[in-house]
Chain A
Amino acid sequence: MLHTVNKSSFERNSLQSCINTIDDTSVILLIEDGVISAANNANSSMLTDLASQGRVYALKGDVEARGISSKVANNIKLVDYAGFVDLVVEHGTAVSWV
């Protein structure tokens, strides 16, 4: 499954709820204010394990809009809109953690 998170982890617990709930094959795509969680910061440890397994993506346009391209944590993969579509096709059911 593909899980999208669009809220900052500093503001809502949707990323934490998502991480707590998903199975071992699911991937997470951070979009909109969710990309704040892709940057190296005090909440980075939430995603370290999943990112090291190659299961965390962030939408490039949203990262660039927030001026944090140079801060994206190791192992988090940036995708464009076409990459977003590929993830939907590859992982089937999508869940939005709004």
Chain B
Amino acid sequence: MATKKFMYLNRKASYGTVYAIESLEVVLIAAAFEQDVSLAFIDDGVYQIIEGQNTDSIGMKNFSKTYHALGDYDINKLYVSAESLEERGLTEDDLMPLVYEDEDDDWAEKPSVKVVSNAELSKIMSDQDVCLSF
């Protein structure tokens, strides 16, 4: 099967709406079909990968741990908008330390998350075959 470049745009925080978890499910499906998958976290989407989420008191599943599994599905291009972080008083240190093992480099553990400017993000986006927005 031909491989296409898919980008998933995540623009909403988790739990308040179903967009975040639905996106994550579709991302995993694309990975199962061995497509070239990138994720972008912009606007309130940056809250999806904040470290230390605790859903004990709202009766919902804490699916933030699932993002740690993305590396095992060869999903290692997670782009986070620097402007969106800044507006929300957040820094890269507030994000989960998501990593993958690089098979071309003796399975060395490398970071999957890359904070980029919106200008850089627009270039990455224009390089895709398909962009899906959540």
Complex interface residues of chain B between 1 and 48 (CB less than 8 A to chain A)? 12-17, 43-44, 47
* B54 contacts A10, C-beta separation under 8 Å: no
Q: How many residues of B contact A (CB 8 A)?
A: 27
Q: How far is the CA of A42 from the CA of B43 in the complex (A)?
A: 12
A64 interface contact, C-beta 8 A: yes
**In the complex, are the beta carbons of B12 and A67 less than 8 A apart?**
no
Nearest-Cβ distance from residue A98 to partner chain B, whole angstroms? 11
Measured CB to CB, the closest approach of chain B to A29, in angstroms, equals 15
Q: Are B58 and A61 in contact (CB under 8 A)?
A: yes
B88 at the interface (CB under 8 A from A): yes
A66 engages B88 (CB within 8 Å) = no
Cα-based distance from A44 to B43 in the complex (angstroms): 16
Give Cα A11–Cα B43 distance, bound, in whole angstroms. 8
Which B residues lie within 8 Å of A44 (CB)? 89
B87 at the interface (CB under 8 A from A): yes
Min CB distance A40 to B, Å, is 5
Once the chains bind, are A11 and B15 in contact (CB under 8 Å)? Answer: no
**Which B residues lie within 8 Å of A39 (CB)?**
88-89
Closest Cβ neighbor of B95 among chain A residues: A67
Cβ of B44 and Cβ of A62 under 8 Å apart? no
* A65 with B55, Cβ < 8 A, contacts A36-B13, A42-B88 known: yes
CB distance from A81 to the nearest CB of B (A): 8
Known contacts A6-B16, A11-B44, A33-B44; is-contact A65 B62 (Cβ 8 Å): yes
Q: Which residues of B contact A62 (CB under 8 A)?
A: 15, 58
Q: Check A60–B57 contact: CB distance below 8 A.
A: yes
Q: How far is the CA of A48 from the CA of B62 in the complex (A)?
A: 31
Q: In whole angstroms, how far apart are the Cα atoms of A40 and B86 in the complex?
A: 11
Could you write out 14 A-B pairs with CB less than 8 Å apart? A6-B16, A11-B12, A33-B13, A39-B89, A42-B87, A42-B89, A60-B57, A62-B58, A64-B56, A64-B58, A65-B14, A65-B57, A67-B50, A67-B51
